[in-house]
Structure 1
Amino acid sequence: MIAIIDYDAGNIKSLQFALDKLKIESVLTKDLQTIREAKAIILPGVGAFKDAMDSLNKLGMTEVLREEAANGKPLLGICLGMQLFYETSYEDGEWQGIGLLKGSVNRIPDMVKVPHMGWNTLQKHKESPLFDKISDDSYVYFVHSYAIGGSYDSDTLVASSEYGTTIPAIVQKGNVTGMQFHPEKSGEVGLQLLKNYGELIS
């Protein structure tokens, strides 16, 4: 069972629908014990970084996520959920994240239209089981104005997209994985990525 964190900042319905279609068992939950007992955790997210962190802190989830990550449980962050895994965000101020990954969340350069919204290709940086049955330069769906940057650990970069700058699109460090795009809205490629993730953690 995968616990999908419900903290009122999620793209929940389409994600649950995608997992159901793949026959990957999941539960949407605010319950800390359910999160602790799950075999894996997905942190989805849309909206503002500060509001999301305030909600996680209020619900007591920030520490639980740190504990479960330290215990080796697989965690997947999607879109804002991935950004929350990092140390700091500079979205309308300076805010502390969960701190599972090194780096910061910064606004996409204004040389391109912001938000970065629509389909863009994935460029692989390293081989990963996540890419099983996925061809090079596959398209996935993005909606975001901020991206990972600063002194992030480039060894964690699995795939990127180009949009005014190099956008870290998939990152992975041990049991912690992030996808900046929305796999649940990325058609067959997104479903395959979620299927591969499900097989990776089973």
Structure 2
Amino acid sequence: MRQVVAAALVLAGLVVLPHPARASGAAKALEKPVKTLITAVRYGKDSLGIKQLAGEAQARFLLGEAYEKATEAQRAEFIRLFHQLFAGIAFPKIRQNFEHLETILYEPPEIEGDTAKMKSTLVILHPLKKQEIRVEYTLKKVGKRWKVFDVLVLGTGGDSMLTSIRNDQVQPILAEGGMDHLLKLMRERAAEIEKAKQG
């Protein structure tokens, strides 16, 4: 559940972007994938939203040593299934969060090589109270484009979204039955989500 909330926050946290006149060149370079992702998720264009995620970098992180041992076909299937599950589980929650989001306050990004980090404060107006959540986003440069990689909710003492998914789900399943077992379980879960959508 924490992963779904964190995923919702990363996307909800990117709804309001810095004013173009105030955005630095670095911030502008990070702005395009964010705008595209938010618009896509907001209007139910999940496949376009998924294209804004750093799939290969996410797979390398989640699979660890298993990534190098996996075949190209296994890697590609893992990325496809991971994104399909992410869209099926997290994106609907994200759309709900848009209802309560008031504004986002951004800090300038920090860029080191092909990795960028941006911190922001999300101001959420729930019916009973106002809530401020601090979030740090990690983006990866893929070719000439920046893509969303991970999110960390600051001040909770918890792991980042991808670290939680890796430690709580992916690695235990790999240890139990290897890559084929992981892909089998992912296929089954993806089929359940697809069936629920149609049913």
TM-score by length of 1: 0.26
Greater per-residue strand proportion: 1
TM-score by length of 2: 0.26
Greater per-residue helix proportion: 2
